[in-house]
Structures are given as C-alpha cells and as structure tokens.
Amino acid sequence: MTHLLSRRSEYRELVLFSILALCWGSSFVAIEVGLEYVPPLLFAGFRYLVAGAIVFAYAVVATDRIRPRTRGEWLIVSIAGVFVIGLYHGLLYLGELYVSGAVAATVVSTAPILTVVFASLLLPNQRINGLSVIGFVLGLVGVILVVRPSPASLHGDMTYGAILVLGAAITFALGSVLVRPIESALPIETLQAWAMLIGAGVLFAWAGVRGESMAGVELTTTALLSYAYLTIISGVFAFLLYFELLEQSGPTQVNLVGYAEPAVAIVVSWLVLGSIVDSITIVGLLTILVGFLVIKRNAIRSALVSARSGKPNRGLPETHVETTAKTRVEASTETHAKARTDGGVIPESDSSELPNER
C-alpha cells in the first residue's frame, strides 16, 4: 500500500512538473506573439504589475509575513526585483523583437551555467573546477551553434537579438548569485510578490527612458490573450504550482524544469506559429544541456538518489542545510535567488536561490 501511494505521488509530481514546463516554456512564444502589438518594456511592466499584485494577495493569505523587515530582506527583494525581474525581462522582451521565442528559450537555458561561473568569481566558498570549466565551454559552444555568428551577420538582427537575450541570462544569473550571502527568513511568496512589483517599476522607468508610450499599444484580441496568458497562466498559476512542487520535491529537482522549457518552446512555436527550428539549433540546445549536466552532476546525482528513496531533496546537496517542516519560511532562504522570470526558474545553484520564472 505504501509503495502504491509512493508511485501515485511520483506520477502526480511528474504531471505537475510537465504542466509547469508547459506554462513557462510556452511563455516565450506568447511573448513573441504579444510583441507584435505592445512595446516590449510596457508589455513586461504591465504583466508583472498585475501578477505581482495577485501574488501579493496570495501571500497575505498563505504566509504570516507580507513585507520585508530587515535591511537584508529589503536588499534581497531589491536585487531580485532589479536583476531577476526588471533587467532580465527587459532584455528578454527586447531580444525577442529580433529572435524567435524558441531561440530565446535556448539561449536563456545557459543561465544555470552562468550562475556557477558568477558564483566562482564572487563567492569565496565557491570554486569552479576543471569539469565545470568544460561545462561552461560547452554552454558557450551551444549558444554559438544557435546564433551562428559570421562576419556577414555580425550586425544582423539575429545576432543583436541573441546578444540581448544572452544579456538577460547574465543578469538573471548575476542576481541569483548576489542574493546568496544575504540572510533572510522572508517567505518565498512574499519575496516573489515584492520582486515582481519592484521589477515592474524598473520596467516602467526603462520604458519611459526608451520613449515607449500607450500610443504604441494595439488592443487586439491576440494582444489581450497573450497578455492574459502570460500574466495569469505563466505568471500567477505557474508560480503557485512552483510553490507546491517546491514543497514536495525541493528546489534541486523542481528547477530542472528550466531544461524542459526550450523543448516546449520549440514545439509550441511550431504548433502556434508554424516556426521550424533547424537541426543545428537543436544540437546547440543539446550541447548547452550537456554543459549543464556536467556542471550540476553532483546536485543531479543527489536529486536522483533522493527520488529513489522517496524523500524529497529539500536543499541543494553540496552546501545547503535541509529544509524541514518546522519552517516553510526557510524555504525562501533556500530559493531566494529565484524570483522567477520568462523562460524558467532562477537557476538552481549549490546554495540558496529563487525561482526563475519566464
């Protein structure tokens, strides 16, 4: 009987994991569609203004903390809001003016690899070894295969868009590393809500500097459907689903969803837009995935062991303290670098972080 219940739980988690990957992977395509009608930074800003308000309302009901208290907690939500929501989404949306959602999802999947590199440079207790260097090089090779820069195309739209999206992955990775040394007991729901609202403010300010205005918005049915999908399904619903999976499986396993997202984006782009990704782009995606597997081999091995034993891996095995039922609040410390963004979850690291939402 116990074995049967365990198998049912595994199937349920697999279904929820697949739904989350679908929500976040398809968001890249929804962005691509919506950008035909709405200026990019205003599009992202309004999305996170509404999503942040809804998640904040959820935090009021689900947690006992609805605002940061300490300087460290305010610093965490500020870093997450500026880097993981504001800069990440701003660069991603701008990049998708020039590249497809499928290509953007593939380039963004380098974020966990970049996170390890930034951690080795900025955190004294994190050092990159020879195998990790190989993983990083594989990630770069994967991006080159996707973009295929040449002297003739160096100043073309494809290269420019890919550089913007890679910049998005860089800001996401940097933000996830900067929050790690900061102590916080802020619930992940509250952190996520504040990060979304702060990020929306950054995006609106950026839109003003860039000269975007409501006059550039075309209120078509397609634009409204794209916005509603990104805000409600890829935003609020996916975050609530993420919180549920985080409770059941822990961040190491849940954050692997980021590597299902490019495949989802490729399939959805084909079904919705008729876009076909060539074989070299797929090879690039697989090369990035191999680089990730090389870098995260210890965390993945630990996650697989915990999955076989039926015990969720609550922490990131190399350095993190296990999260127990005594405090869901501590889960936010474990994931506080993960203020989710379009294209995935804040990449899982070997210490604490937030959800990377697309």
- At 77-125, the pLDDT tens digits run 999 999 999 999 999 999 999 999 988 988 898 888 888 888 888 887 7
**58 pLDDT above the threshold of 80:** yes
Question: How far is residue 288's CA from residue 63's CA, in Å, rounded to a whole number?
Answer: 37
- The enclosing H or E element of 29 equals helix 2-34
Q: Which residues fall within 8 angstroms of residue 326, CB to CB, at 6 or more apart? A: none
Summarize the confidence of residues 49-64 as an average pLDDT. 93
What's the average model confidence in pLDDT over 283-305? 76
Instruction: Please say if the pLDDT value at position 220 is more than 90.
Output: yes
d(CA 1, CA 342): 40
Instruction: At 40, list the tokens.
Output: 């990019």
Asked whether residue 302 carries a pLDDT value surpassing 80, the answer given is no
Of 324 and 258, more confident: 258
Instruction: Report the pLDDT averaged over residues 158-185.
Output: 90
Using a pLDDT cut of 70, give the percent of the chain over it: 75
Tokens 């959805």 belong to: 268
- Phi and psi at residue 17, to the nearest 5°: -60, -45
Q: Mean of the pLDDT values across residues 20-25?
A: 90
Q: How confident is the model at residue 155 (pLDDT cuts 50, 70, 90)?
A: low
Given a cut of 70, whether residue 228 has pLDDT beyond it is yes
Cβ(358)–Cβ(27) below 8 Å:
yes
- Ranking 42-56, 78-92, 141-155, 158-172 by mean pLDDT, the lowest is 141-155
pLDDT recorded at residue 151? 59
Mean pLDDT in residue range 248-268: 76
pTM for the full predicted model = 0.80
Comparing 253 with 26, which gets the higher pLDDT? 26
Q: What single letter denotes the amino acid at residue 172?
A: F
Q: Long-range contact list for 292-297, CB < 8 A, 24+ apart?
A: 292/109, 292/112, 292/113, 292/135, 292/139, 292/259, 293/135, 294/131, 294/132, 294/134, 294/135, 294/138, 295/112, 295/113, 295/116, 295/131, 295/132, 295/135, 295/136, 296/112, 296/116, 296/348, 297/131
- Mean pLDDT, the chain, integer: 79
The closest of 168, 189, 113 to 354, measured between CA atoms, is 189
Q: CA 125 to CA 214: how far, in whole Å? A: 47
Which is more confidently placed, 138 or 346? 138
Confidence of residue 337 (pLDDT cuts 50, 70, 90): very low
Average pLDDT over residues 159-175: 92
Identify the pLDDT of residue 76.
94
C-alpha–C-alpha distance, residues 281 and 287, integer Å:
10
- Per-residue pLDDT, 133: 80
**pLDDT above 50 (res 321):** no
pLDDT at 348: 41
Q: Which residues pair with 344 in a beta bridge?
A: 341
Question: What average pLDDT does the segment 124-132 reach?
Answer: 73
* Domain chopping of the chain, boundaries: 23-309
- What is the rounded average pLDDT of the residues 50-61? 94
pLDDT higher at 249 or 99:
99
Comparing C-alpha atoms, which of 85, 342, 338 is closest to residue 227?
342
